[in-house]
Amino acid sequence: MWTANPGGVNWDKDGDPEDCLRVIARCAELLAALRGTIQMWQSEHDGSVSHSVPVIEQPDRINCLLYNLARGHALICGRTQIATADLAPVLEVTFDSAPTIRSKVFRSLLEQNGTLRTGQVEKLLRCSKPTALKEMEALAVLGIADKRETAAEYGRPEQELWLAEKFQWFATDECKGLRWP
């Protein structure tokens, strides 16, 4: 690669497909939210969960990094223009660059077509109901998902988590088609 491009690579950024750039921007927004910091604590009196105001970075820097990842993938594939084939690593890095538990719950949300119940989160994380509720609350506070109480098949009502409208594209067939099998 160095021999073929001794003076560097001439990249025509204006020629990059708009739909690819849009996917990278979506990924940057998602990753900024997934990496947001939030302090959470549970009340000893009634078990309710409280939280601090979330701190979410601006996605600009992440967008640049993900764009460069797509460009690097294009280069190792012998191209000097990004293409849809370069988006799979961008999507995977996006999902895996979040804290482990958030990444796991988010991936499960995608596998379950955008909705999860408390019991599913408990099984996924092999945790107690209060821990599952805390993790679900974190995704809701960060704006990644919405949460509501729903009837359970058996016993007490459960919480249901579903992807926020802003991030529903990640559960679409279009997104699934861009990911590695």
What CATH number does residue 61 fall under?
1.10.10.10
Domain span holding position 113: 13-178
86 contacts 74 by C-beta, under 8 angstroms: yes
Question: How many structural domains are present in the chain?
Answer: 1
Is 126 a domain residue? yes
Is 145 a domain residue? yes
Pairing of strands 145-150, 115-117: unpaired
Alpha helix locations (H) across 50-161?
A: 60-76, 87-96, 100-111, 118-125, 129-141
- What secondary structure letter does DSSP report for 91? H
Is 61 a domain residue? yes
Task: Walk along the chain (181 residues) and give the pLDDT tens digit of each residue.
Answer: 778 777 888 888 899 999 999 999 999 999 999 999 998 777 777 767 777 788 899 999 999 999 999 999 999 998 999 999 999 999 999 999 999 999 999 999 999 999 999 999 999 999 998 889 889 999 999 999 999 988 776 777 789 999 999 999 999 999 999 998 7
Which bin fits 57, alpha (ψ -120 to 50), beta or left (φ > 0)? beta
Please report the pLDDT score of residue 6 as a whole number. Answer: 78
Is 50 a domain residue? yes
Is 6 a domain residue? no
Q: Is the pTM of this model over 0.85?
A: yes
